[in-house]
């Protein structure tokens, strides 16, 4: 059933993903691909996972925006508003909302469903490897932050601060 909604959802997402290079349509398509694989492997509800994966970043405020931690909440609200316009089945909307809100690292919301965990995992997996490094550097360049702290590049004597140093992003999210 979710497959018949995939075209309209993708068309909507393509219009929304103009915010920044690190959260572009290619990021969305990678997350969707991974989420589909995880969904199938884990036996989760594709009717929740698919729209949540497509729409999880339909609002993505810049890392230096004062309301950054609200991005996932804003995305969830926008996603549900859109899904209602295409008559997506109402019974899935609360779970889709939770999956979108809980995907965000900065929102610090623990996913309470398998579907929400899958969307979060798929999004976080896209932050790893060469693509993840490139995305981190893209955001850091857009924000004009330094690559690393010259006196303590490995955060041995200080707390990581990815709003000031690009490399610190990895210490915050991966270590």
**What are the structural domain ranges in the chain?**
3-125, 129-173
Query: Rounded CA gap, 111 and 120, in Å?
Result: 8
- Assigned fold of 3-125: Hypothetical protein af1432 (1.10.3210)
Are the beta carbons of 78 and 101 closer than 8 angstroms? no
- Determine the pLDDT at residue 45: 98
Residue 48 CB neighbour total at 10 angstroms? 26
Question: Of 96, 88, 87, 90, nearest to 54 (Cα)?
Answer: 96
- Determine the pLDDT at residue 37: 98
**Tens-of-pLDDT digits for all 175 residues of the chain?**
567 899 999 999 998 876 666 678 999 999 999 999 999 999 999 999 999 999 999 988 777 777 777 888 999 999 999 999 999 999 999 999 999 999 987 777 899 999 999 999 999 898 888 888 887 888 888 888 898 999 999 999 999 998 899 889 888 877 7
- Determine the pLDDT at residue 117: 98
**How buried is 43 (Cβ within 10 angstroms: 0-12 exposed, 13-18 middle, 19+ buried)?**
exposed
How many helices (H) and strands (E) the chain has is answered by 8, 0
Are the beta carbons of 149 and 158 closer than 8 angstroms? yes
3-state secondary structure of 64: coil
């Amino acid at each position: 059933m979710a497959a018949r909604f995939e075209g309209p959802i993708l068309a909507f997402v393509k219009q929304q993903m103009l915010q920044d290079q690190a959260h572009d349509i290619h990021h969305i398509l990678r997350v969707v691909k991974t989420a589909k694989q995880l969904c199938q492997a884990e036996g989760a509800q594709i009717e929740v996972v698919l729209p949540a994966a497509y729409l999880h970043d339909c609002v993505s405020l810049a890392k230096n925006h004062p309301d950054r931690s609200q991005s996932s909440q804003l995305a969830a609200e926008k996603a549900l508003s859109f899904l209602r316009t295409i008559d997506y089945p109402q019974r899935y909307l609360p779970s889709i909302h939770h999956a979108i809100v809980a995907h965000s690292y900065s929102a610090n919301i623990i996913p309470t469903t398998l579907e929400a965990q899958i969307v979060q995992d798929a999004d976080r997996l896209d932050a790893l490897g060469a693509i993840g490094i490139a995305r981190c550097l893209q955001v850091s360049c857009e924000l004009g932050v330094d690559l690393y702290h010259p006196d303590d590049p490995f955060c041995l004597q200080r707390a990581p601060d990815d709003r000031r140093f690009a490399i610190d992003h990895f210490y915050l999210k991966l270590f």
